[in-house]
Chain A
Amino acid sequence: MLLRAFLINLEVLVALLGVGLVAGTLIAILQVYAGRLIGYLAFLFEWVFRAIPALILLLLFYFGPPRFGFDISPFLAATLALGFRSAAYQSQIFRGAIQAIPTGQMLAARSVGMSRARAVVTIILPQAFRLSIPGWSNEFSGVTKDTTLAYAVGLNEVLRAARVVMDRQYNLAMLAYLTVALLFLALTYAGNWGLGLLEKKTRIPGLEMKGIGGENR
């Protein structure tokens, strides 16, 4: 039963990482290449979503819409809140990666006639993504743990299931939570292993960078 609930966590994880990836890349690109004003706005976004605790973001996203007349499910709230937050962190990682690429690359691309946009997509981004993998794995293992926060907004995820177990049989409480802990351990290791594999497979000799530290627990 715990496992089934854990799947919900995984769903949230995938969803939010997706949001984070797309939004994060966009923001990173904006910050590096767009004008001062947009760059500043992007910076502001990053700052707000990083400085506010994840839990509070979650609560704001959950209680906000009803306040303004919309309904929102715990799942969507969690995905958006954590997704945008992840976007803020991911944009940092991508931005670092983009900036680590020698300026010569862009110059070369332009000099063969590519437009800025095309150069970014075909030359810069592929390299940036490879460089981002270590930092991104950090973010990944951090974010998996944050999915448990959805417990606070009533999502039917694994901690809620554990609670149900506990309500039924009190003396199993510790066991239940330990199991949850082990599930996450397994997920973290599996994720790190998978990403390590990805790094190896996409590695290009000579293209390296030190990663950025994780910010979740």
Chain B
Amino acid sequence: MTELLRVEGIHKRYGKEEVLRGVSFRMERGETKVIIGPSGTGKSTLLRCINLLTFPDQGQVFLEGHEVTHHKAHINRLRASMGFVFQDFNLFAHLTALANVSIGLLKVKGMRKEQGRARALAELERVGLADKASAFPAQLSGGQQQRVSIARALAMDPKLILFDEPTSALDPELIGEVLSVMIELAKEGMTMLAVTHEMGFARSVADSIIFMESGVIAEEGTPQALFTSPKHPRTGQFLRKITELYGEMGG
């Protein structure tokens, strides 16, 4: 089957607030799906529920048929097969760029040192940062850090990469370099699930878009469908506001 990810009925509450109220969707292998919506609608929480950085109160997540949310699941192994790119990059501050990319290979996948280094270097090249291999995160710009973090995720040969607002913490002129990498990945057939405000990216690269509001999926469809003839009134409102604000960047 080509279904890679299946999310069913995710509920999550923080204290009194129910942030996710029953979210379900599916993703095919090679699909690029973008989640958009107003802030605070639980988009990031949803992503974290998928690789169990946060535990959903209810609901299930299936990766290639294996239930991630099962209490007996080998969560670390499953996490290793899903890449996660954070809004704040979260590069390991005490390691060089190269070490950041290779540490997962060496410690989680148990690769040998030389092998790991070589592969890490290759991934850094892929994102255009081979020359920064021995730099520390503090010595890199935001855009460079984010690209290293993408390289770190790629090195693990993930089946799926989750992007949590990857460009929101970047200065405008640095957003482009990260988006280019993401677009390349999409073209190469990587399965990607991204929460983002970059409408240009969504419109030109996504296979499908989810519009979330108040903890549920308000509408889901192709970029064409959503942008030109949204079914839900709020979808249209939101899209108009956002495209005004962020312009038609990327692509």
- Do chains A and B make direct contact within the complex (CB under 8 angstroms)? no
List residues of chain B with CB under 8 Å of any chain A CB. Answer: none
